[in-house]
Amino acid sequence: MEQNQAQSPSPPLDTRFDRLNSDWYFDKLAQVLMFIGGISVIVFIIGIFVFVSIEGFGFLAGKFEFSEFFFSPDWRPTSQTKETYGLLALMAGTASVTGFAMLVAVPFSLGAAIYIAEFSSGKKREFLKVTIELLAAIPSVVWGFIGLTIMNPLIIQIFHVPVGLNILNAGIILGLMAAPIMTSIAEDALKAVPDRYREAAEAMGATRWQMIYKVILPAAKNGLLGAILLGVGRGFGETMAVLMATGHSINLPTSVFDSVRALTATIAAELGETAVGSDHYQALFAIGIFLFAVTFVINLVADLIVRGVRKG
Amino acid sequence: MVTVTAPQGATPHLEVRDLTIHYKQFAALENVSLEVRQNEIFGIIGPANAGKTSLLKAINRMDLFDSSMRVEGQILFNGINTRKVRNVYGLRRQIGVVFPLPVGLPLSVYDNVALAPRLAGTKNRSDLDVIVERCLRRAALWDEVKDRLMALGSLLSGGQQQRLTIARALSQEPQMLMLDEFSIAVDPVTTMRIEDVLKELKKEVSIILVTNLVQQARRLADRTAFFLDGKCIETAVTEDLFTGAVQDQRTRDYVEGRFG
């Protein structure tokens, strides 16, 4: 009814067109608020990057040597004779733990996602989804605690090794930590595949598994890769659980039973003990820059993949 | 209920006996009996909610996808009761389906057509090449896609995707092809092309053609059944439906467009 009135020609309406009413101001206000909300995220991220860069810049300009920083396994920032700032062992620690975590998490999370999305239904499906999302909310310090008090003696007992805080321990803990969020994302990706693909494949005589393997997984490929990369990013950035479960000793690992130390854990453990502005302090921020860069690249790649580089 | 045997004396390819389908309490199909003969196009016409699609689902055992769907009665395919078949995958490979909306799987054109042979175990590339080309030719799509077999099937136009769907259904070498209102998302020219394809295919497979278009049934079907509100009102030689030689007033009304 009101629409009809508005459409019908009435002279008073025309004269009001050049005046701004409350709707117009409200619309502008909403636009400005949304803009501030949106832009602030970007401002914060740039702010953090600038802050980390400024703190780390002193190191990059001074003690930083490219070959030592990236290729020396010696991280001895507090040495009395000669300080060395080599990240190789720390990078190896982070990489090995993250890699092992993915070995654990990828089969678990993809399996769980496929089961939830394709095989379960109704109440069971809802229950599983809620439970898995609950798992994702467990604080990382709790996971670290489990690594320290449960996994540690178990590994010593089962494998007869002197120390149970090692790549194996941290990898499993980190894998279990990353699996819920990966499952959740992967399940979303599978559910986004239209049902008509399933019906078409099954109607032509594909078995459940053939349908999943030949049709659903290729269709959801990008989303699944995105889920895995998200897990990698999670493992890369995780600090507390890794600090507690790796053994935190600087080492170039040769087996999964070696203790290692991660980049993130190094910052967390040492930053409180350094004098603000010292070489050591600045070197830790340089690690921060490095982590920032790597995480940025991982996220960028994940984003590109999820958006779909659909070739071949 | 006694089913009338085919005049040619041949055993019917598909025989439906007293089929009743419920979705929860709602009866979608009641006591339907009909038979489809070897190498004929069997048309099914009728308004929406007549139970046409439900019938196709029951034949292909797609009722297994829908837990609310209850099927009673018998469906004999080559004399075998499909309700008792354990290997439904084997059964579905014998009966190809084309859905109302084209489904180009998100694979390349080639892989779309090669999917069924691969599932059945054909690995050899040159064998697959032959199958893919033959099926695409039979679906009148080869000339349009032969230069881009590796392009995504889901990026083809609607009409091309529908012919791709038909090519895919043919690639499993079915004995029977069921088409469910295939022309809904296809332009008239492509529809005509597909209809020509179907007339050719009749020599090799039996075809069930569910259609909303009465004239399409007239052009293609040898015999046609009229469905209304879950019942098969009657089955007749298609031409009789249009010359008024049918018994039921409702059928005549529907065919002449005087319905509802």
Report DSSP letters for chain B, one per residue.
-PPPPPTT-PPPSEEEEEEEEEETTEEEEEEEEEEE-TT-EEEEE--TTSSHHHHHHHHTTGGGG-TTEEEEEEEEETTEEGGG-S-HHHHHHHEEEE-SS----SSBHHHHHHHHHHHTT---HHHHHHHHHHHHHHTT-HHHHTT-TTSBGGGS-HHHHHHHHHHHHHHT--SEEEEESGGGGS-HHHHHHHHHHHHHHTTTSEEEEE-S-HHHHHHH-SEEEEEETTEEEEEEEHHHHHTT--S-HHHHHHHTT---
Is the pLDDT confidence value at A2 over 70? no
Q: What pLDDT, in 10s, does the model give residues B136-146? A: 988 888 999 99
Return the residue of A nearest to B150 by Cα. Answer: A312
Which residues in chain B touch residue A214, judged by CB atoms under 8 angstroms apart? 107, 115, 118-119
Chain A: closest CA distance from residue B62 (Å) = 7
Residue spans per domain, chain B? 14-255
Q: Band of the pLDDT at A234, cuts 50, 70, 90?
A: confident
Q: How close, in Å, is residue B6 to chain A by CA atoms?
A: 29
CA distance B91 to B107: 24
Contact between chains at A205 and B90 (C-beta distance less than 8 A): yes
Instruction: Reduce the DSSP state of residue A223 to 3 states and report it.
Output: helix
Give B221's pLDDT tier (boundaries 50, 70, 90): very high
Using CA coordinates, name the residue in chain A closest to B111. Answer: A214
Instruction: Give the distance from residue B120's alpha carbon to the nearest chain A alpha carbon, in angstroms.
Output: 9
Q: Which chain B residue is nearest to residue A312, measuring alpha carbons?
A: B150
Chains A, B: CB pairs < 8 Å: 65
- Please count the CA atoms within 13 angstroms of the CA of B100 that sit on its side-chain side: 10
Right CATH for A88-307 from 3.20.20.10, 1.10.10.10, 1.10.3720.10, 3.40.309.10: 1.10.3720.10
A310 contact B CB<8A? yes
pLDDT digit string, tens, across residues B60-110: 888 888 888 899 999 999 988 998 888 888 899 899 898 888 888 888 999
User: DSSP letter at A29?
Assistant: H
pLDDT of residue B4: 44
CB contact under 8 A, A206 and B103: no
> Topology of domain B14-255, per CATH?
Rossmann fold (3.40.50)
Over range B111-119, report the average pLDDT. 90
pLDDT value of position B6: 44
- Asked if residue A17 has pLDDT above 80, the reply is no
Task: Give the span between the Cα atoms of B162 and B168, in whole angstroms.
Answer: 10
- What pLDDT score does A37 carry? 94
Q: In which band, very low, low, confident or very high, does the pLDDT at B128 lie, cut at 50, 70 and 90?
A: very high
pLDDT score recorded for residue B245: 77
Q: Considering only CB atoms, which residues of chain B are within 8 Å of chain A?
A: 60, 62, 65, 67, 89-93, 96-97, 99, 101, 103, 105-107, 115-116, 118-120, 152, 165, 168-169, 172
Mean pLDDT of chain A: 88
Contacts of A58 (CB under 8 A, 6+ apart): A277, A279, A282
Stretch A90-96: mean pLDDT, rounded?
A: 94
Token pair belonging to B10: 């041949």
The tens digit of pLDDT for each residue in B11-62 reads: 788 999 999 999 988 999 999 999 999 999 999 998 888 889 899 989 988 8
* Beta-carbon separation of B116 and A204 below 8 A: yes
Per cent of chain B over pLDDT 90 is: 40
| Assembly ipTM | 0.80
Q: Does residue B5 register a pLDDT over 50?
A: no
Q: What average pLDDT does this structure show over B158-180? A: 90
With a cut of 60, say whether residue A6 has pLDDT above it.
no
* Segment A1-26 mean pLDDT: 64
User: What are the residue ranges spanned by the domains of chain A?
Assistant: 88-307
**For B88, nearest residue in chain A (alpha carbons):** A205
* A210 shares contact with chain B (CB less than 8 Å): yes
* Mean pLDDT, residues A149-164: 93
Residues of chain B neighbouring A199 (CB-CB closer than 8 A)? 62, 65, 99, 103
Instruction: List A residues 128-187 in contact with B (Cβ-Cβ < 8 A).
Output: none
What average pLDDT does range A253-279 have in this prediction?
92
- Quick: pLDDT tens for A196-208: 899 888 888 888 8
Q: Is A217 on the interface with B (CB under 8 A)?
A: no
Residue A8, pLDDT score: 52
In percent, the amount of chain B with pLDDT more than 70 equals 95
* pLDDT tens for each residue of A168-190: 999 999 999 999 999 999 999 99
Cross-chain CB nearest to B105 (options A207, A215, A310): A215
Nearest CA in chain B to A217: B106
A205 touches chain B (CB under 8 A): yes
Partner residue opposite B107 with nearest CB, options A196, A205, A218: A218
